Every structure is written in structure tokens, then in C-alpha cells.
Chain A
Amino acid sequence: MLTMKNINKVFKTDLVETHALRDFNLSVQEGEFVAVTGPSGSGKTTFLNIAGLLEGFTHGDYFLDGVNISNLNDNKAAAIRNEKIGFIFQGFNLIPDLNLAENVEVPLRYRGFSAKERQRRVKEALEKVGLGARMKHLPSQLSGGQQQRVAIARALAGEPRFLLADEPTGNLDSLMARQVMELLEAINKAGTTIIMVTHDPELARRAQRNIQIVDGQVCDFTLYQGGQNHQVDTMEQAAS
């Protein structure tokens, strides 16, 4: 479903060149739950931004559903983000002046859905995350865990091809983190592909596959199957 081939991302200043990603290769299959880990500054966020078409890259090819989406203009990239990618951010990124329904509705409005369709999708998405009864509440009236569930509902409402989660439990206490994680697992079991960037090895172990990034490269694949893990050295091995 998602394939990155030899992706390089170089940040240039007058004095230095920094390789945030270096010959980065990754393939994610439909329905997978992939955790991306790595130390600070390793390139996790750069990978997430590129995977989510939030920023471009210097070299390489990025295929989504077999289509090369490496050189899209701004409007086309926005359309793909809107239709195919659901985002879950560490800080939830809800709009404080909008109520829950209006927040979930934001990407649907950009898609151009009718009011009736938007209403149906908002209701369904909020009910899916257990907040169907609180549609008129403001984000500030919710706990952190509930806010992240709203953000998940917002990501799901557009029925994306995959979810990109950036430290989805990073701002939550352990109980709420567990609830959010259970929700993400349930969503994945229902068929949605999830790529999750996290610092937390405990959370990473709950994914089907763990990719470790060090110095802008994939250095390690770990497959978790029934509580046991197998380390593999190359992407080809991981994909096989």
C-alpha cells in the first residue's frame, strides 16, 4: 500500500547540510500496524511528515497504492492528505473554539461533502470512539484521553487509507494511554492500516511490526508475533 524507495531529506544552511533521512526504504502492507521508534533527532518526525505529505523530500520515490506521489503540487498533496491519510497528533491539535462535532467535521468540509453526509460521518466517528453523546462539548471540557479520542474520530471520519499517529499517547497518563492504544488496536483489527511514531517501547511492542530509525535510516525491523519477537536485518527480509 505504502512504499518509500531511497528517500533522502537534506536540510541545507549556508554552512552545513543535515541528512534527516538517508536512503530511507520502507514498505507497509494493507492492514498493518507499524510502530516507528528511534532516539530523538533520528528522523522519526521527518519520516512522519514525508509519509503524511506534510513536507517534501530531496530525492527518492514515494508510492501510495501503486501511484508515485513524489512530486505533487500543493493542492494535490492537500487532497491526498484529506482523502487518504488520517492524522493523530501528540498534542491532539483540536481547534479550541470549535465543538467536538465541528472539529471532526473540519476535514470533511475540505473534502466538499454535503451537510447530511458530514453529519452522518461525524456522528458515526464520534460514536465509534465513545463520544457520541458529547458532540456539542468544547475540547476544553474533555480530559486529555477524550480529546485524543476526538482526534482519532476526526482522523477516521474521512475513511482514510491509513492513519499516521505521532506519539498518540505522549501527552496522556498511563490509564488514558492504555485506553487510546486499545482503541487504535481495535481500529486496526477493523482493517485500518496504522503507522505510529512513538518513544515508548512498551507501546511499540503492541504493534505488529517495529521499525527503528537511527541517523535517518531504518536500522532494525522487529516482527512481533504472539508475544515473541524476531529481529530481521533488512527491509527485504521484513517484507518477505
Chain B
Amino acid sequence: MLNIKPIVSSLLRSKSGPILLLMQIILSVAIVANASFIINERLTMMQRDSGIAEQEILTFAIYNFDPSIDATLQNKVDQRILRSLPNVKAAASTNMLPLSGSGWSTTLNLGPDPETAKSTPQVAMYMGTEHTLETFGVTLVEGRNFYADEITDDVNSPNILLLITKALADEVWPNESAVGKTLWAGRDVQVTVIGVVDKMQGAWVDSSDLEYSIIQNVDYSGNSYMVRAEPKHHEALQQQILDALMTENPNRVIDNFQSIAVVKENSYRDHELMVTVLSMMVVLLLLITSLGLTGMVMFNIQRRTKQIGTRRALGATKGDILSLFLTENYIICIVGGLIGGVLAVLLGQQLMQHYDLPQLNLIYPVLTVVGMLLVTTVAVILPARKAANISPAMATRSV
């Protein structure tokens, strides 16, 4: 039986304990709501699909120190060797590693005059060959891949063709096909879009332009290579790559083998740390709140043993006593939750201003209050059951 009015009167008259608990709940709701929001935002960010076969791509670097080597030629030989290794699905050199935090980016214009033409967003600029799409494991959704005879070794070639991501295509040419469209890099250099890939993220995971990428038809002779194979073959492949490439040319250093999955993990390390720290804080706060509730109920039971016995003598059932303690604490929790919810929104606004966070979704304070009600139930139910078992004969004892 709920007796809310006398319980509220009673709480208002015995202020100190309930007020301390109320403050604890207000702060917990405000902090837990915002922390949960940030955790979820970070997790969502970390779980974004890069569009790339992260687990399958093994990357490594080749450092040539011999100035007499023809880097362009060596690059082509090395790629051929890599593609000939057992279990290799595809291989390509690259000017930048996806999700690595460093690479090339540019802005292209929709017209020849950079002063008047609309610009594309900042795009990650990959360079690759007809093998690059397969090596990345991305899907072509419109147009075509590069042909072998379209690949150039010159980054400044006037015949640049582009594969672009669908996100970029939709941003620049909404509701129309991007294939065949022209973009300008400055007044003189025109580039033509020949294909659109479903998804391929750039290098900077914190950038709002992460989904905007292009691949140019340039076989770049840098030092980064990617080999795509099933992850179970990576360990053996690593040795095979070393053996094959060192046999071809022993005067170089080959190292830094890692999968794109590891590269990605490193890029998201700060976010992961934040998720861990905030999760621990949420758990700790909920634990402290639940201990506070349990402590308060146990203290109240001890203080009110005779009162509980009297209530039982006057006709309260065990269920009535259980309900008395639950109701008392639900009232504190709901009042604290409402004030904490408002505080959470205000705190969220401050975080939004100072830390470039999106606005707190109101579902978080609501869910936090629901969670706090569950915590209250768990924290109160055991001591309240103990209270319910107090004998009505306690009313006649001198305690």
C-alpha cells in the first residue's frame, strides 16, 4: 500500500539524511547521464564501418637507402612479387594508410576559378592502381575501376582520374550521378570522376570529413605497402614477404608490419581510454550511490526498529513495510532524478561549448533516472526485507 503523503511529510521533517542522499543522486544523475552519452558517442564512433577490409590488410614499410635504385621500377617489381606470394588476394603500394592519423588531403573545386567555384569538403587523397580497390576491399557501386594503361607514376600528371566515395559524391552532386563529372585542382588541372566506391574512410578518425576520400590513378613510389590476405596467413606471410623482398634487393630495411585493424586501434586509443575511464566512473558512482542508499536504509532500520515494530503491531504487513522503505527511497530518487536531469542538460551545454561535443540527447537523463530507480530497488530491497521481518513484538520491548 502506497502512503505517499505521510512519507513525504516524514521525509520533509527529517531533512539531513534524505538531503545528503538527494544531493548524491542529483550529482550522480548529472554526471552519469553525460558520461553515458559521451561513452555511447565514442563507441558509436569506434564502431563506424571504415569500408576497408581492416582485418585482412597487412601493411609494412620498405626503407631504401641506396640512391642508385630506381624507386619507381623497384616499386613495380616489389608489387609484382607481393601479388605472387601464396594466399595473397591483392597487393598495392600506397601514399597513406587509412585510419592512421597521417596522410594527404586536398580540396577540389567544381569550377576552374578558385575564387568563385564551389569547393568540395576536405578529402583524403589516396594514390593507387587498378589493384588498389581490391587491396582495400572496397566495393565499387558506380562507374568503373582504373584500367592498367591509365595508371601513371607522375603525381602531377594532367590525366588524373578519380574514384571517389559515395559520401563525397552525394555531398558534391546530390541526386545526380558523379561519374563523368569534372573537378579542378587549381585553374589548370582537371580531374575526372570515373567511379564511385561505397565507403572508404580517410586517415583522420576525429575529422568530420572522414568519409570523403578519393583515389587518384597514380602508382606512388613511397614506402608504404599493403597486402590483403586472410588474417590467419599474416604471420607466415610476414616472413614470406621479408624473404622474397630481401632476396630481390637485400639493401633495404623492411619493418613495421601491422594490420589496418591495429592501425585503427591505435588511432582510437584515446577514445578507448576515455570510454574505459568514464565507464569506471559511472560504475563507481552507481556503486557509491547504491552503497549510500543501502547505508541510509540500514541506518533508518536501526533508528526506527521500534517504529517498524509499532507499525507491524498496528496492522502493517511485511509487504507494507517493504513498500514503505521502497517508496521513501523512490521518492528521493525521482526528485533527485528530476533535478539531476536538469543539471545534466546544463552540464551537457557547458561540455558542448568547451569540448566540441554534440548536444546531450534527453533520452540519456531519462534512462539514467530509470537506471537509478533500478539501483535504488537493488540497494533497498535487501535491508527493507530485513526491516519487514522485524517482529511486531518489538513494539512492546524496551529498545
Known contacts A55-B393, A166-B396, A81 near B313 by CB under 8 Å: yes
Cα A97 to Cα B3 in complex, Å, equals 14
Cα A154 to Cα B395 in complex, Å, equals 14
Known contacts A48-B396, A49-B396, A87 near B13 by CB under 8 Å: no
- Shortest C-beta distance, A200 to chain B (Å), equals 17
* Contact in complex: B396, A102 (CB < 8 Å): no
Chain B residues within an 8 Å CB radius of A158? 315
> Cβ of A79 < 8 Å from any Cβ of B?
yes
- Shortest C-beta distance, A204 to chain B (Å), equals 18
Question: Which residues of chain A from 70 to 112 have any CB-CB distance to chain B below 8 Å in the complex?
Answer: 74-75, 78-79, 81-83, 87, 89-91, 93, 95, 97-99, 102, 105-107, 109-112
> Cβ of A52 < 8 Å from any Cβ of B?
yes
> Cβ of B280 < 8 Å from any Cβ of A?
no
Query: In the complex, how many residue pairs between chain A and chain B have their CB atoms under 8 Å apart?
Result: 87
> Cβ of B166 < 8 Å from any Cβ of A?
no
* Contact in complex: B395, A93 (CB < 8 Å): yes
CB-based nearest A residue for B11: A97
CB-based nearest B residue for A97: B10
Contact residues on A (Cβ < 8 Å of other chain), bracket: 35 or more
Cα A166 to Cα B395 in complex, Å, equals 10
Chain B residues within an 8 Å CB radius of A45? 396
Chain B residues within an 8 Å CB radius of A97? 9-10, 13-14
> Cβ of B317 < 8 Å from any Cβ of A?
yes
* Contact in complex: A93, B306 (CB < 8 Å): yes
Cα A83 to Cα B314 in complex, Å, equals 9
CB-based nearest A residue for B306: A93
Known contacts A75-B317, A138-B13, A106 near B396 by CB under 8 Å: no
Question: Which residues of chain A from 126 to 150 have any CB-CB distance to chain B below 8 Å in the complex?
Answer: 138
What mask results when residues 143 to 182 of chain A are scored 1 for a CB within 8 Å of chain B, else 0?
Answer: 0000000000010001000000010000000000000000
- Shortest C-beta distance, B14 to chain A (Å), equals 5
* Contact in complex: B393, A82 (CB < 8 Å): no
> Cβ of B391 < 8 Å from any Cβ of A?
yes
CB-based nearest A residue for B13: A97
> Cβ of A54 < 8 Å from any Cβ of B?
yes
What mask results when residues 283 to 315 of chain B are scored 1 for a CB within 8 Å of chain A, else 0?
Answer: 000000000000000000000001100111111
Cα A95 to Cα B1 in complex, Å, equals 18
Question: Which residues of chain A from 183 to 233 have any CB-CB distance to chain B below 8 Å in the complex?
Answer: none
Q: Which of A49, A79, A89, A93 contacts B315 (CB under 8 A)? A: A79
* Contact in complex: B316, A95 (CB < 8 Å): no
> Cβ of B264 < 8 Å from any Cβ of A?
no
Known contacts A54-B392, A55-B391, A89-B395, A110 near B10 by CB under 8 Å: no
* Contact in complex: B314, A107 (CB < 8 Å): yes
Chain B residues within an 8 Å CB radius of A154? 314
Q: In this complex, which of A75, A83, A97, A166 has the most chain B Cβ atoms within 10 angstroms of its Cβ?
A: A97
> Cβ of B318 < 8 Å from any Cβ of A?
yes
Cα A128 to Cα B313 in complex, Å, equals 22
Known contacts A97-B13, A99-B9, A110-B1, A78 near B396 by CB under 8 Å: no
- Shortest C-beta distance, A167 to chain B (Å), equals 9
> Cβ of B67 < 8 Å from any Cβ of A?
no
> Cβ of B174 < 8 Å from any Cβ of A?
no
* Contact in complex: B320, A98 (CB < 8 Å): no
* Contact in complex: A78, B312 (CB < 8 Å): yes
* Contact in complex: A87, B313 (CB < 8 Å): yes
Chain A residues within an 8 Å CB radius of B316? 78, 110
Q: Which of B306, B311, B391 contacts A54 (CB under 8 A)? A: B391
* Contact in complex: B1, A112 (CB < 8 Å): yes
Cα A98 to Cα B398 in complex, Å, equals 21
Cα A120 to Cα B70 in complex, Å, equals 105
Chain A residues within an 8 Å CB radius of B392? 52-55, 78, 81
Cα A144 to Cα B398 in complex, Å, equals 17
- Shortest C-beta distance, B357 to chain A (Å), equals 44
Cα A54 to Cα B310 in complex, Å, equals 10
- Shortest C-beta distance, B113 to chain A (Å), equals 80
Q: Which of A74, A87, A95, A102 contacts B307 (CB under 8 A)? A: A95
Q: Which of A49, A55, A74, A166 contacts B317 (CB under 8 A)? A: A74
Chain B residues within an 8 Å CB radius of A53? 392
Chain A residues within an 8 Å CB radius of B3? 109
* Contact in complex: B6, A98 (CB < 8 Å): yes
* Contact in complex: A49, B393 (CB < 8 Å): yes
CB-based nearest B residue for A84: B315
Cα A166 to Cα B13 in complex, Å, equals 29
- Shortest C-beta distance, A78 to chain B (Å), equals 5
Known contacts A78-B317, A83-B315, A110-B316, A95 near B391 by CB under 8 Å: no
* Contact in complex: A110, B320 (CB < 8 Å): yes
Cα A102 to Cα B10 in complex, Å, equals 10
Cα A228 to Cα B88 in complex, Å, equals 117
Chain A residues within an 8 Å CB radius of B14? 97
* Contact in complex: B1, A102 (CB < 8 Å): no
Cα A55 to Cα B6 in complex, Å, equals 28
Chain B residues within an 8 Å CB radius of A102? 6, 9
Pick 22 A–B contacts, CB within 8 A, sort by A. A49-B393, A52-B392, A54-B312, A54-B313, A54-B392, A54-B393, A54-B395, A55-B391, A75-B317, A78-B317, A81-B315, A82-B314, A82-B315, A87-B310, A90-B396, A93-B306, A95-B307, A95-B311, A102-B9, A107-B315, A109-B1, A110-B1
Please name the 7 residue pairs, one residue from A and one from B, whose CB atoms are nearest each other, closest first: A82-B315, A97-B10, A110-B315, A107-B314, A54-B393, A93-B310, A54-B392
Q: A54-B392, A95-B307 are in contact. List 17 more A-B contacts (CB 8 A).
A: A52-B396, A54-B312, A78-B312, A81-B314, A87-B314, A93-B306, A93-B307, A93-B310, A97-B13, A98-B6, A98-B9, A106-B6, A107-B314, A110-B311, A111-B315, A158-B315, A166-B396
